[in-house]
Structure 1
Amino acid sequence: MVSDFVRGVDRRRLLGWGGLGAAGVVAGASLAGAQPGYAEEGRRAGADPVPADARPGGAYDRYVAKLAADGRFSGVVLLSYRGRTVLSRSYGMADKERGVAHHEGVAFSLSSAGKPFGAVAVLQLVQEGKVRLSDPVGTHLTGLAKDVAEQVTVHHLLSGTSGLDVPDEDVRRIFRSRGEVHAYYEQRARQAKLVGVPGVPDTDHEEAEVTLSALIVEAVSGRSYWEYVQENVFARCGMTGSGFFTRPQWLTDAHIAHPYMKLADGSVVDAVRNLDKSSPDPSVAGKNPGRAFIDAPGDGGFATAPDLVRFAHALGDGTVLDRPWADVLTAAKTPHGPASFGAYGIPVSIVGGQWMYQRAGGNPGVGANWDIYPDTGWVGVILSNGDGVPLPEMIGQEMQAITGALADGGSGG
C-alpha cells in the first residue's frame, strides 16, 4: 500500500516546477533499503524482468480498475517495457456529449507535463551551436529589465533557478486567437522582475522561465514555438496524435479528451464548453483550461499515451538530441530532496536503486504524468480528464509495481 505521505501531497505542490519529485512522492520519499532495478535482479535470479504487479491482472491493473469503478478515474494508463506495451487500460469518456469513449488514440491536455518539450527545443539549438547555456537572456531577447537581461542565463531558465517572477495571471480572460495568446504571455515575460538570486533553486516562479525559453527558441529559429516543437519534437518522434491544439479543434476533434471540471455545488461540467464556469479548487481557483485558445508558448500541448512513450524512447536513442545532450537534459542540477533533483524541465529521482525521470501537470479537469526509468527500460503514463483523480497516489502505485520500491516519507534518509 502506498504510504499516507504520498496520499497527502497537495495539488498546488503537484503542479509546481518540480512535479511529483519536488512534492515528495518520489523525491522527498525515503526509499529505505532501496532495491536494485528489476533488470539487474532478474538477471541474477534468471527471472522474468516484468514483475507480476505490473502485468495485466496485477496489483496496479486492479488498483486502477477499482478507481474507475468508484468514479475516481477517467482516462488512460499505459506501462511499457523496452518498447513493448505491458499494460494499457482506458476508462470513461473523452467526450460525453458525443459519446466518445477513451482509447489509446485519445490526446489529453498535458498542462505542465508538456514543459519538457521546450527544454528539448532549447537544447537542440545549443547542440547546433546557435545558443550557449551560459548566454545571458539579453543575448537573444530585447525589451527586458537590465538586471534580467545581464544576470539571468539560459541555464538559469532551464534549471528553474532564474529568480524571476511576473505579475499574477488573469485566469478569467478568454482568448480568441493564437496571436492574442502569444502577445499576452510575451508581454508578461518581458515584464519579469528579478526577485531572487539567479542560480539559487526556487520553484515558485516558473512562468517567466518557460515563456522566455520559448521566446529564445523563436528568436533563434525564426519559427513560432508551436511550429518549432511540432516539427522538431513531435514529428521527429513520430508523435502523430500530439500537437498544440486550439480551442476550435478541442471542440470538434473527436480524438481530444474534454476536461470535466467539478463546480462548487458538486456538479460537473465540460470546461471547454462552459467558458463562463470556473474551478473552486483553492490551488487553481478561478481557472478554466478551455479559456486558452492555444497553450502559452513553452507550456502544455496535447499528447496520447503511446506518443509519450515514443517521446521517452526518443530521448534515449538520439532522435531528438544526440546522446551527450540528452544526458545534459536529464543530469541532476539542483537538489530537491533526499533523492531527487531538478534537471532541465524534468525532475529526476533515484527510486529503487535506479533513475526515474518524471513530469506531472494538472488543471481543472486535467491530470497528466509520465515516468521514464532509463536504467531498466520502463515507461509509465497516466492521463486523465476529470477532477478528483488521486494522481500522486496513482504514481506511487505505478512506481511500486515497476520497481518494487514503496514510497515512504517516514525516515527522510
Structure 2
Amino acid sequence: MDSDSVRGIGRRRLVKWSGLTAAGLVAAGVPSMSAATGHAAAPPTGPSENDRIPPDTLPGGAYDRYVAKLAAEGKFSGAILLSHRGRTVLSRSYGMADEEKGIRNQEGTAFTLSSAGKPFFAVAMLQLAQRGKLRLTDTVGAHLTGFADDIADRVNIHHLLSGTSGLDAPDDDVQRVFQSRDEVHEYYERRARQAKLVGVPGTPNTAHAEPEVTISALIVEAVAGMTYWDYVQENIFKRCGMTGSGFFTRPQWLTDEHIAHPYMKVADGSVVDALRNLDKGSPNLHVLGKNPGRAFIDAPGDGGFATAPDLARFAHGLGDGTVLDRPWADVLTSAKIPHGPASFGAYGIPISIVDGQWMYQRAGGNPGVGANWSIYPDTGWVGVILINRDSDGGSLVDVMGQEMKAVTGADPDPDPGSGG
C-alpha cells in the first residue's frame, strides 16, 4: 500500500507549521469566480482582503520563480497549480512523463497520488451516511463479516475515518508484483481481516493504518454494491468533472501517454523508470525495497491518479455541494483529533490553522512519487503539487512550504517536528 503521508520526509512537516508570522494579502487584479456556477462574480463595492491576489502567487511571482529554478536545476519534474475562487492563477508543468517516448509533462498529465488519494474513501463514506445508508456509529460488524470479535464489535466507522481505530496489520510484501485487479483486492482484503486490535478504539493516533483504509473501502463496497474503484469513479470523479482521473492499471500506466511514469532513485544513485524496472526497489529506509509500479492497481481506499486541474475541481467540489451537502462537508473537514498546537486530524484530511486561517491538505509519496493538494477555504485558494521524479533537493515538503508562503504570507516553521 502507498506510504502514508510520506514517512521519508516527515509526516507532520506535511500537515502543520506552528508559530507562524502574520502577513497580509496584497495586490489584486484577478476577478473572483463563483465556485458553484463558474461565472464571474459581481464586483464587490470594495476589495476585501480575501479577494486580493498575493503577488507571490502570480505568474512570474516568487513561487513561480522558485519552482522554475528547481526544474532548471533538474530538481523538479511534475506540475503545480494555484486556483483562486475557481479561477486558475498559476499552472506550470516541467520534466518528462515518459522519457523513453519523449513525452513531456503537461497540464493534462495524470500523476499517481499515493496517500493524497486517501480522502476519497472518507468522502465516499460520508456520501453514504448522507443518504442514510450507514451511520458513523456503525461498527465494522454491522456491515462486514469475518473479522475478529473485538474489531467487529468495538471499532466503528468514526474510528476508521478519524484514524483512531487502534488497528495494526502484518508487514506488507513490498516485493510482490500484482497481475490483476482481483489479486490486488484479495490481497488487501485478506490483510485487513488479519488486522489486530493493538490499541483502544477512540485513542488518538497520528496517521491512518492500512486496515482502516481497506476496511472503509470494503464497507463502501458492501453498502453500495460495487467496487470501491467504480464507486469513486462514478460518485466523486464524474460528479466533479475530473475527466483525466481514475484508478488506472499498470498496462494503462505503461501505454497511456497522458499518465506520468514515476522516476525512482536506486542504490547506485541513478534514476530509473519504476514501471519498466519492476525488479528494482528504492534504497530509502522509509520505503525500503518499494516500487510503485508493482501494483497492478492501487489498493482499495488508496491512491488513484489525477491531473492538477482535476484536483482543483475536487477541492472546489468539496465546498460547493458537488460531492457532499454542506453540513456533511463540514463533518468531513471539522477538527476531530489534536495533533499539535495548531494542527488537527479530520476525516482522512489533516487540517491546520496557518496565519489565522484554516488549511486543509493531504500529501502522499512513494519512490518517484510526490503529491499534495491544499485548500485554504477562508480565502478561496487551492494549491496542487504533483511530482514524478526523485531528486536531491526540491522535496515535496519544500515546495509545499513555498506554496503556503505565497498564499498566506506565512513562513514555514524551520523545525516542525515529526509524526502525524
TM-score exceeds 0.5: yes
- AA at the equivalent of 1:30: G
2:311 paired with 1:308: yes
Whether contact under 8 Å (2:5, 2:14) holds in the other structure is no
- AA at the equivalent of 1:194: L
Which residue, out of 52, 56, 60, partners 1:49?
A: 52
Distance change in 2, residues 1:48/1:169 (3 Å): closer
Whether contact under 8 Å (2:50, 2:379) holds in the other structure is no
Whether contact under 8 Å (1:279, 1:286) holds in the other structure is yes
Distance (Å, rounded) in 1 between the aligned partners of 2:211 and 2:17: 26
Aligned to 2:180: 177
Distance (Å, rounded) in 2 between the aligned partners of 1:327 and 1:218: 24
Q: Deviations over 1:121-145 (max 9, x none)?
A: 0000000111100111110011001
Distance (Å, rounded) in 2 between the aligned partners of 1:326 and 1:267: 44
Q: Deviations over 1:138-196 (max 9, x none)?
A: 10011001000111110000000000000000000000000000000000001111001
Give the deviation of 1:26 after TM superposition. Answer: 4.9
Aligned to 1:358: 361
Distance (Å, rounded) in 1 between the aligned partners of 2:276 and 2:199: 40
CA root-mean-square deviation: 2.2
Whether contact under 8 Å (1:164, 1:205) holds in the other structure is no
Give the deviation of 1:343 after TM superposition. Answer: 0.2
Mapping for residues 194-209 of structure 1, pairs under 5 Å: 194-203=197-206, 206-209=209-212
Aligned to 1:405: 410
Give the deviation of 1:408 after TM superposition. Answer: 2.1
Whether contact under 8 Å (1:37, 1:353) holds in the other structure is no
Mapping for residues 214-293 of structure 1, pairs under 5 Å: 214-293=217-296
- AA at the equivalent of 2:105: H
Aligned to 2:12: 23
Aligned to 2:34: none
Question: Tell me, what secondary structure is at the counterpart of 1:357?
Answer: strand
Distance (Å, rounded) in 2 between the aligned partners of 1:53 and 1:37: 10
Distance (Å, rounded) in 1 between the aligned partners of 2:246 and 2:23: 38
Distance change in 2, residues 1:36/1:340 (3 Å): farther
Distance change in 2, residues 1:350/1:204 (3 Å): closer
Question: Tell me, what secondary structure is at the counterpart of 2:79?
Answer: strand
Distance (Å, rounded) in 2 between the aligned partners of 1:133 and 1:398: 34
Which residue, out of 98, 106, 115, partners 2:109?
A: 106
Whether contact under 8 Å (2:17, 2:412) holds in the other structure is no
Whether contact under 8 Å (1:37, 1:376) holds in the other structure is no
Whether contact under 8 Å (2:17, 2:416) holds in the other structure is no
- AA at the equivalent of 1:15: V
- AA at the equivalent of 1:67: L
Question: Tell me, what secondary structure is at the counterpart of 1:73?
Answer: coil
Question: Tell me, what secondary structure is at the counterpart of 2:201?
Answer: coil
Distance change in 2, residues 1:163/1:26 (3 Å): closer
Whether contact under 8 Å (1:26, 1:407) holds in the other structure is no
Whether contact under 8 Å (2:77, 2:388) holds in the other structure is yes
Aligned to 2:128: 125
Distance (Å, rounded) in 1 between the aligned partners of 2:337 and 2:193: 26
Aligned pairs, number: 397
Give the deviation of 1:268 after TM superposition. Answer: 1.1
Question: Which stretch shows the higher mean deviation, 151-160 or 42-51?
Answer: 42-51
Distance change in 2, residues 1:348/1:204 (3 Å): closer
Distance (Å, rounded) in 2 between the aligned partners of 1:411 and 1:391: 15
Which residue, out of 335, 342, 360, partners 1:339?
A: 342
Aligned to 2:163: 160
Aligned to 1:330: 333
Give structure 1 stretches of 5+ with no counterpart: 1-11
Aligned to 1:6: none
Aligned to 1:320: 323
Distance (Å, rounded) in 1 between the aligned partners of 2:48 and 2:200: 50
- AA at the equivalent of 1:334: I
- AA at the equivalent of 1:257: A
Give the deviation of 1:201 after TM superposition. Answer: 1.4
- AA at the equivalent of 2:89: V
Question: Kindly, what percent of the aligned residue pairs are identical?
Answer: 72
Whether contact under 8 Å (1:165, 1:205) holds in the other structure is no
- AA at the equivalent of 1:393: D
Distance (Å, rounded) in 2 between the aligned partners of 1:177 and 1:46: 51
Distance (Å, rounded) in 2 between the aligned partners of 1:139 and 1:117: 22
